[in-house]
A and B are shown apart, each in its own frame.
Chain A
Amino acid sequence: MDELKRRLRKELEQSFDSKILADQSWSFPAHKVLISYTTVTKTKMDVLMKMILMSVQQLRIERPEELAHLLGVELLFVEDLLSIMKGAGLVVNKDVWSITELGVAQVTTGMLLHETETEETMLVVSPLHNEFLDGEKSLSLQENLEPFRYDENLSKWSTDDISSELLQTELSALVENDNTSERQRVVEQLLKVEKIEQIQIPCFEFHIHNTNQDTLYARIWNTSTEQWDETLEQLVMTKERSSWRERYLTKEEEIHHET
């Protein structure tokens, strides 16, 4: 840890117009959560085309406008796809649009390749960031660092606070990561989110004076994401920055005066 901190300090100091005014170390809470969900694997058939086939199969459709209205899709799209499918022999149009045997085969086989599978994944979520962190990093050198000074309300956190949209995006990214162009594995349903444990993520905070610009700002290294954390920096600066000039620079001037 100390070594990391030294390295960061050194990096910051190499900058020709930056001067470190203060530093501190602390940790903020994050939560390991276990997420259960089901996935299905489908073949490649574009969703709108499939939907049109299904609609034609189930309903009596005479004009493309009906489909457009039914599916809330632009008429142009419907017409485009109908003509493609007609060309491919999936549908025919005699007064009524109807599906061919070939079409039926496509729809049925095109739906599912594998039955639903249930899967689980462990993720780390940070309430401060309202984001999932790449939690793979082992933090073996956990020391007893003081908690982050602005984490007051975080103890009440529950898994319900994770927005479903965030969860969905994260899972999709995870599941669809190794999709091929032939097979599409997608999340079918989210089963449950289980809180496993709370962990502390260490951070190193530096206050810096840019002597060239004469500006004061904070740099906070997040050891979990292994980068300078913008969210945390903004949080600290919003709360504190207006006092720094007086705290650091006036003092310094006084020191100058004294010497």
Chain B
Amino acid sequence: MKAMNRHTFEETVKCELTMTTSARNGIEKITKDEHAFFAMQKSFYVHIEKRPENQQGSQAFSFFFDPEENVKLKDLLDGRVPVLECIVKNDGFLATGFHVRGKREPVATNRRLRATMKFKLGKSSGISLPIDFATLLRELPIAEERSEYVKKRIGGWEGYLRIMEKNADVEDIHARVKSVSLSEDFRQASIRIEGLPGKAWRTLIGFSAKFASMTYDLGNVINADKKTNRIDVELKNNAIQSARKTGLLGKDFESIVFSNFAELSQVRRLRRGFKDLQDGLAANANLEKVLFEERPVVKITNRREPLEFETSLNEFQQEAVNGAMNANDLYVIQGPPGTGKTTVISEICNQAVKAGLRTLVASQANLAVDNALGRLLNNQDIRILRYGRTESIEEEGRKFIEENVAEHWRTQTLEAMETQLKQHSQLESTLLTEEEALQQKSTVLLEQRSKLLEQQKQWTEDNEKLRTIEQEMKEVQLKKQELQLAVEKNITEKKSSEHKLEETIHEIKRLENLLTGISTANRSELESERTQLKERIELLKTSQSLAEMVAQVDKLQTSIDDAIARSESYQSALTKLTTIGKLNDLKDLLDQVEFVPPPELDHKMTELIRQIDRIQEVGGEESFTAWSDTVARVDKAIITLTKILEEHQFHNRIRIPKGFRNRHSLQSIQETVSRVGRYLVQPSVKKTLSTTSFSVESYDCLENLTKAVGLLHDRKNFISAFLLEAQSTTSLFEDIKKKITDVFNENLSTLTAKQKGLQSQFDQVNGQLSEVQHLSEETSSPEVIAKVLSELEVSHESISKTIQEILETENTLKVTEKNLENAHEQRETIEDSIQSSSNQASEQSERMNVLDSMLTEKLMLEETLTQSLLNDPAPLLTEIAQAEKELEQQLEIVTKQLANVPAIQSVQKTWHQMLTDASPYDLDEIRKLYVKHANVIGTTCVASARKEFVEEYPVFDLVIIDEVSKATPPELLLPMLKGKKIILVGDHHQLPPLVGQETMEEFLEEMPDDEQKKDMERLLKESLFERLFRTLPKQNKTMLGIQYRMHERIMKSITPFYNENGYELICGLPDSDAARAHHLETNLIRSDDHLLWIDQPNTPDFYEAKPKGGTSRYNESELSTIRNMIQDLDQATEKAIEQGKLPVNTKKQVGVISFYGEQVKRINQLIQEELRTDHLTFRTGSVDKFQGMEMDIIIVSFVRNHGEASGEIGFAKDYRRLNVALSRAKELLIIVGSSSMFINKPKSKTTRGMYQKLYDEISSQSGIRTLNESVT
């Protein structure tokens, strides 16, 4: 089972392991403690599964201890499986749990990593896990997730199993036998029974029947008819034997038991397959993805090793074999009828054997398995084993069943011995010749070797020479390169010199031209003209400015007036200022003279306003005198009171405050003084104060007075402060006024100065004005003047410019003359350098020639040497050495054989004899050996899941499944699980799996509409095979496109089914007419006809019928056509033999097939009882049964022909069934049926089209025959 693992990590991994209590508790259930457990073995074989991360986000793993490989554990636990749950911690693992699972627990799965572990218990020692190992761990899939994925997807396949177990009933059913009727050939027994529960009748078909007292199974129930109390059983071989002796009569046969155990166990096996896939037990871990993903991802291989084929294959077959051998995971081969699927399978087996691989050939049906095995080469290296129940294995497979393989082997070996023994007489001479030949060969080899050795010597020398030459060449090359560089440089220099020379000459020319063109015109004339112009312009400009000057004078006059006015207003303001006592008046005054105070002054004024406000707050209205009076009063009151207090020795208590506490109005202060006065004049006070004696009253009174003194002082202080404030306000005001005065005075003086300036300006301008007025005679308007002026200015400018130009030209002339001189000099220099470059170039070219000739010489030498070195004798020498060795061995064998010829002969004779006489024991030993080394094993899909088989062969390198389209996905899954690589071969255009007599689709139609039915319909719409063929990448599939069975014209009837996706079916017979000639001629058939339709009218005389009580159909008219046809064919064969067209003992194989069982039965009867044919052999059957067969001639009876509106054609509407029916014949295919029924009546347009196409094809081959027609 090791092969199941995804990966194996080969080295032993040391890892740290710390334990949680929970894990320790688990371990302590089986050993003393964890130390005891891990000390049991040096290392442990484990299978590591990745689990989902735990809640803390730690990566979790389960270690499954292999129950077989861990010997000590096996002893301890008797094959049960210990599981250690771990999380990754630091550099090792932390065990979080430990438990033991049952014996059946699978340990190796394709989702686990197999490894050998040494666990180090305890604290971290800092050794980390090997990187490769850690990587493999990280890459493991999370097994639970994969399992869930598979579970979800495979759930869709449940429907198949449901259909299979539809009537499953585990209970056996018993019945009494009333009578038994055996068929003619004893293959079928019809049994009348009683005592069967009514319900059971419906479920009985498919059950196995067995007489209660017999040990063997009778066979399977194929029919159960409740009305007649009768069942039909298809007898197995040993039941047939028994029936021939006993007739199945007597007391042993009175009670019968029906059981569906076989079917149920089959369903169980299939379900087990689901589970295995889910548990990761597929040999190929990619299988689940291949099966379930819409676009299966398979590993890509580009490497294609060419194969040597054992059989001759066409290009498609070669591609299929190559593809199958080189593909990874899966390869799909679509094989239409007759395209050599079995040949391909056989060749793949050969190739697999050569590659040392073990192959499983599986199919849904035994027949296909046996066919494939039967075609394999008779080659001792291929050891074929046919696995299955002997009785169900067909003739072709018989010799490969386990009990026969030894016999098969013996036959093969005996044949080999006989061949050798036959040759014994010639053996000696043969050996002698062989020996001689070998010796000759040996001499040749020796000669070759000495030659080669010489060659090698030469070679080595040459090699040395080559090296030297190469070195020399390199040097020359280098020199050449240098020279090349120099040459290039020289050329560049020369070129640039030449370029420069050209430029210089050009320049000289240009300068000479220039010199002739320059003339110095009359400069002084121009200059005097310019002066005149200038004067005139000045004059004009003056007169133009006259008006401006007048305006300026006016403006100055106004400014002077304004300045005078302002001076005056300032002066008056200054006089007023001295008398102003109030701020508001001051402000008004300032406004009058539009004076904006400077910031400092403005600030002061604001301060003044604030102070005034404060004063007014307490009584700014009162005059200063009122305040002085009050002070006097307060002082007086203070003195009075102080005096009183002194008298009473109380003045010490007086507290004279500094400053004051609140501001008070004048009035309130006066009131306070008055209140003190009033207090003093109160009689009680007076009285109290009159004496100096001390009393409470007096104390109170004195206390009051003390307070009053404090109060008065407070007021006094306030007043002083207030008066100080008022005084400062006054001085501030005065200060402001003074400042303003200063500013005004300043302004005034400025104004005066300005006025004076203006006056002088005025005088000057006025003077100019008068002067101008005097000068200017022009009286023209300013516009005219302006115009003239501008004209004059323009001409003045142009003259100035001309003068400038002349000046410049003169300069240029000078420069040019100088340049010309230079240029001439330069030309000489350049011409010199060019000359020297040329000299150098010729010298260089000479040198180059020398180098080149040297190089050519060396190159030639090199070429010669390389050529001779190409044939390195070294590998040849090795080869020869190898060949010599082989030869020596061969010679040895031959010499030995020669010496031993008599001994060999005797040994081989003994061997032959012993083998002939081999006892059953001998054969049994050989059987064991054979089975052990079997490399191609054949079985049915379902049998591949049998327990014994799985134990013997758990895994195959290659699993080839044939007739894939005939198996359901669950059936296919079973062999697929076992294959590292899987090859599917089939044809999805032929019939799909059958349930009884019907296809799944037909079966489904009868099912009630429910969810499951819809599921199944979806799945059936495209089979697994079809889907894989559609979606796999090109390198994982192919279609076999050449068929060899049918005459090309017969093939034409099915080509429409295969024209898809760029594939097409072609005929591989090089000459169909020759290879598939039937040589028959009748009334209806010409010898070049291969495809015929004997058309039946769609009229009541030709209609189908149903047998009494039956559901199947037959058609009497078609039967009669077939009867005539067979007789004609027999006669025609006879005639052809007489004419020598066919060999004397020819018997044409004729298959007569139909869509309907009842018709087949009647055809059978016709052939067996009515017709005697000498030159034909027959096989009859339903179309479905004929899948996979081929015959010379096929007659297909369509049966359906009626007038009902439904147009129902039943089984015949499935194109796959029609395809099978049409593709069985090699030489001649004859359709018997009503074309107007099949082309016109069916409801489905597709069906009508399908038959129309067929009709048209046959018609184009002139193959339509109406009844009573004759071609002759």
Contacts and interface: CB of A to CB of B under 8 A. Distances in A.
A215 B184 contact: yes
Contact of B244 (A44, A228, A241): A228
B904 A59 contact: yes
Nearest to B250: A11
A242 B907 contact: no
B285 to A, nearest CB: 30
Interface residues of B, number: 53
Contacts of A33: none
B919 A184 contact: yes
Interface in A194-223: 210, 212-217
Interface of B: 179-186, 190, 192, 230, 243-245, 247, 249, 380-381, 383, 413, 416-417, 420, 893, 896, 900, 903-904, 906-908, 910-911, 914-915, 917-922, 925-926, 929, 932-933, 1161, 1165, 1168-1172
B1170 A74 contact: no
Contact of A76 (B420, B915, B921, B933): B933
B413 A228 contact: no
Nearest to A229: B244
Contact of A74 (B181, B381, B914): B381
A70 interface: yes
Given A80-B933, A215-B1165, A230 B244 contact: yes
A117 interface: no
A20 B1198 CA distance: 35
Contacts of A16: 179, 181, 190, 192, 230
B1172 A51 contact: no
A54 B249 contact: no
A48 B922 contact: yes
Contacts of A17: 181, 190
B1172 A47 contact: no
Contacts of B921: 44, 46, 179, 181, 184
Contact of A54 (B185, B243, B245, B907): B907
A49 to B, nearest CB: 7
A176 interface: yes
A242 B413 CA distance: 47
A144 B342 CA distance: 57
Given A17-B181, A51-B910, A51-B914, A74 B933 contact: yes
Given A16-B192, A17-B190, A51-B911, A176 B906 contact: no
Nearest to A42: B919
B1169 A244 contact: yes
A123 interface: no
Given A72-B416, A210-B181, A242 B1171 contact: yes
A71 B911 contact: yes
**Interface SS of chain A:** mixed
Among all A-B residue pairs, the 3 with the closest Cβ atoms: A72-B416, A46-B925, A15-B181
B245 A226 contact: yes
A225 B33 CA distance: 74
A227 interface: yes
25 contacts: A14-B179, A15-B180, A15-B181, A15-B182, A15-B190, A17-B190, A48-B922, A48-B926, A51-B910, A51-B914, A51-B915, A54-B910, A58-B907, A71-B413, A81-B929, A176-B919, A176-B920, A210-B181, A212-B181, A213-B183, A215-B1169, A227-B244, A227-B245, A228-B186, A245-B1170
Given A60-B900, A184-B919, A55 B907 contact: yes
A80 B381 CA distance: 15
Q: Which of A48, A80, A187, A214 has the most CB of B within 10 A?
A: A48
B321 to A, nearest CB: 24
A50 interface: yes
Nearest to B1162: A214
A54 B182 CA distance: 57
A11 B910 contact: no
A71 B416 CA distance: 8
A119 interface: no
Contacts of B186: 228, 230
A224 interface: no
A42 to B, nearest CB: 7
Q: Which of B243, B911, B933 has the most CB of A within 10 A?
A: B911
A215 B1168 contact: yes
A203 B94 CA distance: 86
Contact of B380 (A44, A74, A227, A245): A74
Interface string A161-201: 00000000000000010010100101110000000000000
A47 B915 contact: yes
Given A55-B907, A242-B1170, A244-B1169, A47 B918 contact: yes
A15 B183 CA distance: 10
A149 B707 CA distance: 178
A77 B915 CA distance: 15
Given A59-B900, A227-B244, A242-B1170, A210 B926 contact: no
B245 A48 contact: no
A227 B190 CA distance: 19
